[in-house]
């Protein structure tokens, strides 16, 4: 699916689009790269969050470091809707504010400020999976396709009119980190199309979302990642994909909960059951198996089989 906007609003000719980006490391990196690479865009500033630890979802340079390398003004620790934040926005006078995952809710005083509005790159096919963690939710529900939707930001949760939407397939071995990375790259590829829309003489008018089709994607909990081996391979596979690397997955062996963070699928002619070694846990069913790898490898042990259903 491509462009979704259906009308125009005359705003005057835009020669250079002044843009402020509100984004986090990960989704923000390819979006910022694409904005910087577009000669029609002047990136005035980036608002982000400073992380002390490596980006947890996949290997990626911190957005703050990337901004410093490219000479982009970068603010962190600033609430964009505060007096300080609004004053900084007025200083940079953006035509358009873009959002690419951000942990702050932008209030009306920010939404009214840029003359072309505020748009968000949301990692789902809206109106499905509005909210904080759409990739976890898509994987938990075994979706085969997801995507990125660019929409106008309102005071609601991801409910603004849609401008552009593109889809991507979800592979059998994708976990949340891999899917986030795939969608981040897709968002970067969509930037030129959004710039096309806003650099003309008309402001694009989006397509309203069908709220009757809306679903929500709250932040998953540690308990969501608890794997019950008695529920079988499919359930274990779903949770391993949906909740890694965060919030993480684990299995209960006896009275001890063991963290597992990777998996493989393979054929296995052993009797149905759970096979435990120092490095991994194999769940075998009907000639198929999923191997769950412990997050920290313990000393190797003799293989032990625990039949499914006890005994």
Q: pLDDT by residue (tens digit) across 180-230?
A: 999 999 999 999 999 999 998 789 999 999 999 999 999 999 999 999 999
Q: Report if residue 294 sits inside a domain.
A: yes
Structure confidence at residue 142 (pLDDT): 98
* Number of domains the chain is built from: 2
Q: What is the mean pLDDT of residues 263-281?
A: 95
Same-domain pairing of 61 and 29: yes
Same-domain pairing of 146 and 275: no
Q: Report if residue 1 sits inside a domain.
A: no
Parent domain of 82: 7-213
Structure confidence at residue 311 (pLDDT): 31
- Residue 289, domain CATH: 3.10.25
Same-domain pairing of 15 and 51: yes
Same-domain pairing of 145 and 251: no
Structure confidence at residue 202 (pLDDT): 80
Structure confidence at residue 15 (pLDDT): 72
Same-domain pairing of 197 and 263: no
Bridge partners (DSSP) listed for residue 193: none
Same-domain pairing of 150 and 288: no
Q: Report if residue 311 sits inside a domain.
A: no
Same-domain pairing of 63 and 201: yes
Q: What is the mean pLDDT of residues 11-38?
A: 90
Which of 194, 213, 232 corresponds to the end of one domain? 213
DSSP character for 287?
T
């Amino acid at each position: 699916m491509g462009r979704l906007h259906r009308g125009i609003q005359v705003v005057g000719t835009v020669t250079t689009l002044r843009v402020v980006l509100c984004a986090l490391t990960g989704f923000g990196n390819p979006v910022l790269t694409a904005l910087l690479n577009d000669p029609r865009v002047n990136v005035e500033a980036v608002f982000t969050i400073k992380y002390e630890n490596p980006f947890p979802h996949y290997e990626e340079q911190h957005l703050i470091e990337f901004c410093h390398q490219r000479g982009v003004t970068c603010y962190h620790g600033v609430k964009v809707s505060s007096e300080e934040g609004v004053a900084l926005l007025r200083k940079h006078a953006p035509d358009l504010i873009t959002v690419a995952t951000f942990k702050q809710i932008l209030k009306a005083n920010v939404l009214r400020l840029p003359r072309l509005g505020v748009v968000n790159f949301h990692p789902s096919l809206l109106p499905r999976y509005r909210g904080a963690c759409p990739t976890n939710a898509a994987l938990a529900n075994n979706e085969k396709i997801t995507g990125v939707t660019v929409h106008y930001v309102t005071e609601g949760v991801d409910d603004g009119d849609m401008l552009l939407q593109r889809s991507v397939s979800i592979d059998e071995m994708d976990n949340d980190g891999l899917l986030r990375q795939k969608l981040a790259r897709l968002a970067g590829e969509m930037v030129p199309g959004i710039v096309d829309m806003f650099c003309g003489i008309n402001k694009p008018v989006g397509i309203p979302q069908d709220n009757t089709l809306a679903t929500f994607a709250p932040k998953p909990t540690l308990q969501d990642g608890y794997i019950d081996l008695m529920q079988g391979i499919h359930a274990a596979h779903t949770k391993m994909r949906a909740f890694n690397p965060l919030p993480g997955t684990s299995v209960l062996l006896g009275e001890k909960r063991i963290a597992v963070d990777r998996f493989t699928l393979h054929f296995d002619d052993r009797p149905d059951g759970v096979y435990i070694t120092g490095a991994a846990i194999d769940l075998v069913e009907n000639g198929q198996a999923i191997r769950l790898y412990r997050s920290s490898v313990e000393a190797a042990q003799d293989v032990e089989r625990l039949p499914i259903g006890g005994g």
